[in-house]
Structure 1
Amino acid sequence: MTTWFTAADCDLSEFRAVCEQKTELGDYPHAIDVVDNVLIYPGTLANDREVQAELVRAFLDGPGVAVFAGAFDAEVVDGATGVFNDLIAAQRASGTVGGDHFAKPGANDRVWGALDKFALRDPATFAGYYDNDTLALVCEAWLGTGYQVTSQVNVVNPGGTAQVAHRDYHLGFMSQKQALRYPAHIHALSPMLTLQGAVAHVDMPIETGPTLYLPYSQRYRPGYIAFHRPEFTAYFDEHRVQLPLAKGDAAFFNPALFHGAGTNKTNSVRRMANLLQVSSAFGRAMETVDRPAMLRALYPVLRHFGGNVENVIAASAEGYAFPTNLDKHQPIGGLAPRTQAAVVREALEAGWDQERFERALTEAID
C-alpha cells in the first residue's frame, strides 16, 4: 500500500478507468433520474438511515455528485438573494473586492463569510433559509451531527470565465508541493471532513456556466496531486459534464470530485450561487465565523420561530465543545462542556429572555 504519493503515481490511464463508469438508476432507489452520470433526487426525502446510506454510497463510491431538485423554496431563495445583493453593493461601495481561488480576478462578485453576514443583516430571512431539511439530511449523512456550515456567495458575471478544474478544501486548497507532504491516508481522510454544496439563486441554463463535474473522479486516490497536472486538466476539459439548474435546486458533491465553475456566456445573467462548505465536527471550518454575534441576533427570531429550530441552530451555532479552556469550562456531568448549540436549546426550552441568554452564551464561550 502506498504511504506517500509522488507525481509519478499519477497515471492518466488509471484515472480514465476510474472515471469512465456508468451510473445506473436502479442502484439508487431514492433517485428519480440520472443525467450525464449525475444522480437527480427530489427536493424532499425522508431523513432516515436508508436514505442516508444511499447518499453516502453515491458520494463515496458512486458518481460523487447529486442534484436535489427544488430543495429550496423559490420565495425563500429570493429573500436571501436580496440580502446577498445588498452585501455585494456594500462591498463595492467600500472598495472591497472578493477574489476567487480558481478564477481570474474580477470575474466574480464573491462574498466571503456570508453565513454570519447574512444572519446579522437579516436574522429572520436567515432562519427561514437555513430551516432546510434537505441540507440537514445531506450534511448528517456525510458528516454526522455537530457539522459546521460556512457559506460564500459567488456571482459569476456575464463573460466570467471558467475555473480551472480542482478539488476542494482541505488538500484541494494546497499546491502540489504542499499536498505531497501529507501521507496517503490523509489524502483519503480529507474528503471525509467536508461536504461541498451550491444553491442556485437564479435559473442556470448551460450558457450561464453552471458547475462542471467529472463524475467518479473522487475515487482516484492520488487525485490531490493529479489535478495540478496538465494532462489531467485536459482530460477533465474533454469529459466533464454540466447540468442546468433551476432556482432553488441544490447540488452537493464529494470535495474530492474534480470540478470547476463554467464560463458565463450570456451578456445579461449574473449567475448567483450560495456555495456551502460544511465541515465535520472533527475538523475546522475554512472561515472564522462570529457565531456568538449570529446567535445574539437570531435568538429573538428563534423564540417565536414557526419552522424547524434545529436546522437553524445547526447552521449557526458551534456544535462541538473543543477546543476550549477547561479551567473555565469544565466538563461537569459529561465528557465535554456545553456547546453553543446546547446553550441555545436550553434557553429556548426554558424561555429565557434575551439578557439571560446572552449572559449564558458569554459564560459558555469566554
Structure 2
Amino acid sequence: MPSPPIRSQAVTAVAAAASVAGFLGTLYYLDIPSMFQQRVKARKVDGRCYSTKLDKENKPSLAAFKTLTQQVTLKETYPLSKTVTKNIPIYDCTAFRLDDEAWVERLQDELYHILLNGPGVYVLKHFFTDLGPINAANVAYDRIIKREFAESNGAKGDHFAPASANSRIWNSFSKFCLEDPESFTAYHSNPLFKLVCEAYLGPDYRLTSQVNIVKPGGNPQVCHRDYHLGFQTPEATAKWPKAMHTASQLLTLQGAVAHTDMPVESGPTRLLPFSQLFEEGFMAYRLPEFNDYFLESYVSLALEKGDAVFFNPALFHAAGENTTKDFARSANLIQVSSAFGKPMETIDTVPIVEACWKHVVAKYEAEGMSAEVDALVRAIGEGYPFPTNLDRRPPAPGGMAPESEQDSMRRGLSERWDRERLVGELREMHQASAA
C-alpha cells in the first residue's frame, strides 16, 4: 500500500533539509565566504600604507573601534582561568600543574588566544609565590636609583609621559645582575617566565626590563601602543606597510611584575581590552577622540606584590596616576623580543663608511639627496636606533627615539662632514649604545 502523500512530502522535506545542511556544512568547512573575500582582495589593489590624512575617507573609525572594544570575555572561553574581572582573565599560578605537559600546552593555548584574538591581556596571580627574590631586587634597585641620581640631574625620560619625580631604571635586567648576581639568579629562575614568553613568541626569545617607581602625585602616561611601531612618530608609522602594523605586535610581549602591592588609587596600568584587534591602532591612538574614548572606557586592576600582568604590545594602555599621599608603586616592566626580530648577519657600519664616504659625498654634491643617494644611505647604515642604551641616549623631547646611523649620515651630508667627523660620530653613538 503506497505511503500517504503527507508522509511522502515530509520525507522529501527532511531529505532536502539534510542536503541543504550538508551543503552549508561544506561551505563552512571550506570557508567559502573567506575564499570569496580573498579572491576579491586579490583582484583589487589597495594602498599598502595607511594615510596620514585625517579626512573622512581615511580617518580611522572610532565607531568600529568601539564595537571591537565592547566585546565581552567569557569565562567558558578560558576554562583554566580562575575568574574574569573587567574582561581580563585572571589565573592563579599556585594552581598551575607545571609537571603536566598536556596541561601546560592547554594553558599556553589559552594565553596565546587571549593576546592574539581575545582581550589582549591577562593577570597571573602569585607569579612569584616566594617574595624573597622581589625583596632582594627592590634593595638592589634602591641602591641603583640612589647612585644614578647622584651621578645625574635625577630626571629620567619616559616615552609617553613628561619627566617627573618618578624613579626609572633603564636596562634593569643587566643592572640588577651586576648589582646582586645571586638575587638576580633566583629572580630569573622563575619557570613561569619561560611559560608565558614561549606561549606567545616561541623559543629563543630575549628578555629586557625597566623598573618604574611612580611616587605620590606621579604623572599618568598618555594612551599608547608599544614597541616597535608604538615608538614611531605618526609620519614614520605611516611609512610602514599595513602588514607590518600587524607584524609589529607579534614580535614583542609586554608585561610587568608588581614589586609592591598596587591598589587602584596608586595607578596600576590602565588597559582597554580587545583594542589590540584594531588594525589601524598604531595610527589611531594619538587622535584626541580615541584618547578621550580610552579615558572613558579603560579598566584597571589592583595587583598584589608578586603578581604579574602580560599583554599584547598593541593593546591601548597607559600607566595610571598615583593619587595616594604616601605610597610609591613599583613595577619591573618586562619587554620580551622574538628571535625573529634580528638580521641574519652582523654588519659593522664604521669600516663601510670609512671606505666609501668620499664617494657618497661626491654623489651627494653632484645630485643632492637624490633617490640614488637616499638608497645608498639606507644600504650602508642602520636606520633603526634600537637596541640602545637609554641612559646615555634617552628618548628625545618631542620624539620617541634617539638618532640612528642613517640620521647621522643625512646630517653629515647636509652639513658637509668629512669622513673623520662622521666616523667619530658613529663610534661615539656605538659606545653610548653599549650596555
Which category of TM-score, normalised to the shorter sequence, fits these structures?
A: 0.7 to 0.9
CA distance in 2, matches of 1:123, 1:162: 33
Q: How does 1:1-366 map to 2 (within 5 A)?
A: 3-7=48-52, 8-44=58-94, 45=96, 46=98, 48-72=104-128, 73-95=130-152, 96-284=154-342, 287-288=387-388
CA distance in 1, matches of 2:141, 2:386: 20
Instruction: State the distance in 2 between where 1:150 and 1:231 align.
Output: 33
Q: Provide the aligned length of Structure 1 versus Structure 2.
A: 289
* Paired residue type of 1:130: H
**1:320 alignment partner in structure 2:** none
TM-score when normalising by structure 1 = 0.76
Distance in 2 (CA, whole Å) between partners of 1:153 and 1:192 is 23
Q: Which has the higher contact order (CA 8 A, sep 6+)?
A: 1
Report the Cα distance in structure 1 between the residues aligned to 2:336 and 2:386, rounded to whole angstroms: 9
Moved more, 18-27 or 75-84: 75-84
Paired AA for residue 165 in structure 1: C
After superposition, the C-alpha distances for 1:53-88 in whole angstroms (9 at most, x for unaligned) are: 111101011110000001013222111111111111
Alignment partners' CA distance in 1, 2:263 and 2:63? 33
- 1:107 is displaced (CA, Å) by 4.1
Q: Which amino acid aligns with 2:209?
A: S
Shift of 1:147: 0.4
CA distance in 1 between partners of 2:192 and 2:297 (Å): 29
Distance 1:100 1:88 in 2: 16
Compare the two structures and name the one with the higher helix fraction. 2
Displacement of 1:132 in angstroms is: 1.2
Q: Report the secondary structure of 1:241's partner residue.
A: coil
Counterpart of 1:81, as a letter, is N
CA contact (8 A) 1:164 1:260 kept: yes
Q: Mind listing any 5+ residue stretches in structure 1 that lack a counterpart?
A: 290-366
* 8 Å Cα contact 1:150-1:286 kept in structure 2: no
Deviation at 1:49, TM superposition (A): 2.2
Once the two structures are TM-superposed, the CA of residue 113 in structure 1 deviates from its matched residue by 1.1
Instruction: Note if contact 1:210-1:262 (Cα within 8 Å) is conserved in structure 2.
Output: yes
Distance 1:24 1:50 in 2: 17
Mapped to 2, the partners of 1:49 and 1:200 lie a distance apart of 26
Gaps of 5+ in 2: 1-40, 53-57, 343-384, 390-435
| CA shift digits 1:111-141 (9 cap, x unpaired) | 0011111111111100100111221111001
Give 3-state SS (helix, strand or coil) of 2:122's partner: strand
TM-score in terms of structure 2 length: 0.65
Superposition RMSD in Å: 1.5
Please tell me whether the aligned partners of residues 110 and 152 of structure 1 are also in contact (alpha carbons under 8 angstroms). yes
Equivalent AA in structure 2 for residue 152 of structure 1: Q
Cα deviations by residue, 1:324-361 (Å, 9 ceiling, x for unpaired): xxxxxxxxxxxxxxxxxxxxxxxxxxxxxxxxxxxxxx
Question: Which amino acid in 2 is paired with 1:94?
Answer: E
